[in-house]
Each structure stands twice: as C-alpha cells, then as structure tokens.
C-alpha cells in the first residue's frame, strides 16, 4: 500500500515519522531521497536494529535504500504516461516550497523580539495558510507565480510579506555576500487564485476575506469555527515596517538589493540558533 499524493504533499518532516511499522507505506511514486522516503528509511532501519542489534547499521541502511530505489523504478515504469509522474512531482514540489515558506516565516518571528508575539498566529495559519505557487521558467530562469488564497484576508498577505522581507535581512547579513544556505525563490505575485485546499479553520474573523466570508453558506461557516469576536492585530511595529518598506523603494526592483543592504545594517551576522532554513 502506498500513501496518497495529498498525504505525501502534506507531510511535515518536523512532525514525526511519515508512517508506522504497522502501516508501512513507502512513496514509490517519488525518489528514494524524498522527505517521505527518507523518513521511511529511518523508520525501517530503526525497527530492524531493534530486532537485530548486532547488525551493521550503515549496511542495513544501504541495502534498504537500494531495494527502495528498485521498487520506485519498477512502480514508476508501470505508468504509461510520464506526464502523470511529472505533474505529480510538480505538485509535491509546490507543497515542499509552501512548507519551507512557513518555516522561514516562523524562524524569522523567533529571531526578532517585536515579532515573537505573532508566533502563535503563524502557527495557527500553519503550512496550509501559506500561499502556494507555480513554477514558470522565463529565459531559462525559474520563477514562481504566487497564488492568492481565496479565503484569506489581503491584510494577512501584507502582514506576512514583512516577514519575508526580514528573512532577506537575515540572509544578507553582510553587504558583500550572502550567508550559506539555499536562496529564496524568485517569486512574483500573479492574479491567479488558489482554491485547491480548504481554508484553515478556527482563525479570528478578520483573517478571512470579508466578502468571501459573507458569501459562505451558513453550514460551511459553522464548520469553519470562525472566532467571531476576535479581531487579530495584523500589523507590525511602525518603525519596523517603515524600515522594511520605505515608500520610495517598496515596489522598486532596481533598488531591491540596496534595500536589503540597508536592512542588514543592524544585524549581528550570527546564524539563527534555530537552524531553520538559514
């Protein structure tokens, strides 16, 4: 038995193993090095070593990885239409970028004293509350068009963009060079709307788009568990926001790098102790 595409896409490596020994399900549609399969390998090796403690752990892991690679190749060769596999991989990659975006924003909130008050709200939004995107290769360069969440209030989007700008502040700790680590994706805002996933439940009423909420069927609204009496303060310290989005530079692509350098002036250059996506 294999996991569904949705289960694989939603899997969070920081939230425990992908499956259990009793419900052992490798993802044969992906590569052996996918986050789900890495978890499966770790689970298998741990279980095997409990049963055979004298075995060579590295040898057990190597043999199982070879076997998993064989199983993945056999499974994928059974598909007559390679486009099905490519489309599946695109969806999984999109989910991975969405998950990375959530952890970057969460780590930024941990890194700045003024933002720590927002940690519970970022966690309430969760991975599914982050915007998704779609790759668009232009002139050989990978860019990602961001889909707006149909249900999410635009004020939440603006609030989250400040975190994204501060992430770059951490990345550009020095005006001459980047810190080590993966670079942020080149994302541009498209006019497309994402309806692929249901809205996040139980948020303050102003986290939802007002018009979308008004048009919601009473049955659906009841099950959305909206906090009707709660208005969350989706704003940042004015001085912080002014620093992040100076009026003259807010939408200037030409001056974006200058802005990043300016933001880096008071950062001490040390790595974030959380070690998350920096």
Neighbour tally for 248: CB within 10 Å: 9
Nearest-angstrom CA–CA distance, 169 and 29: 38
Under a CB-based contact definition with an 8 Å cutoff, are residues 197 and 10 in contact?
no
* Element holding 167 (H helix, E strand): helix 154-171
Q: What is the pLDDT of residues 20-78, one digit of tens each?
A: 999 999 999 888 999 999 999 999 999 999 999 999 999 999 999 999 999 998 888 87
Name which of 49-58, 134-143, 228-237 the model is least confident about. 134-143
CB atoms within 10 A of CB 73: 13
**β-bridge pairing 187-194 and 141-149:** parallel
CB 263 within 8 A of CB 169: yes
Q: What pLDDT digit, counting tens, does each position of 169-228 carry?
A: 777 654 445 555 445 555 545 555 665 678 999 999 999 999 999 999 988 999 999 999
């Amino acid at each position: 038995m294999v996991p569904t595409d949705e289960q694989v896409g939603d899997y969070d490596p920081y939230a425990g193993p992908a499956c259990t020994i009793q419900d052992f399900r490798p993802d044969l549609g992906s590569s052996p090095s996918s986050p789900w399969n890495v978890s499966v390998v770790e689970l298998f090796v741990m279980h095997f070593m409990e049963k055979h403690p004298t075995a060579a752990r590295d040898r057990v892991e190597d043999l199982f990885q070879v076997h998993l690679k064989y199983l993945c190749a056999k499974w994928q060769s059974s598909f007559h239409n390679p486009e099905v596999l490519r489309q599946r991989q695109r969806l999984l990659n999109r989910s991975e970028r969405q998950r990375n975006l959530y952890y970057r924003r969460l780590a930024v909130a941990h890194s700045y004293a003024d933002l720590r008050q927002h940690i519970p709200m970022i966690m309430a939004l969760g991975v599914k509350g982050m915007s998704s995107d779609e790759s668009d290769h232009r002139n050989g360069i990978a860019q990602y068009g961001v889909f707006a969440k149909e249900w999410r209030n635009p004020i939440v989007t603006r609030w989250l963009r400040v975190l994204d700008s501060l992430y770059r502040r951490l990345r550009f700790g020095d005006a001459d060079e980047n810190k080590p680590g993966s670079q942020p994706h080149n994302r541009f805002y498209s006019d497309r709307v994402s309806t692929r996933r249901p809205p996040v439940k139980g948020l303050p009423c102003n986290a939802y788009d007002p018009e979308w909420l008004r048009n919601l069927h009473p049955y659906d609204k009841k099950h959305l568990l909206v906090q009707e009496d709660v208005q969350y303060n989706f704003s940042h310290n004015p001085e912080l926001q002014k620093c992040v989005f100076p009026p003259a530079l807010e939408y200037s692509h030409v001056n974006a790098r200058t802005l990043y350098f300016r933001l880096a002036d008071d950062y001490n250059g040390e790595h974030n102790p959380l070690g998350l996506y920096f």
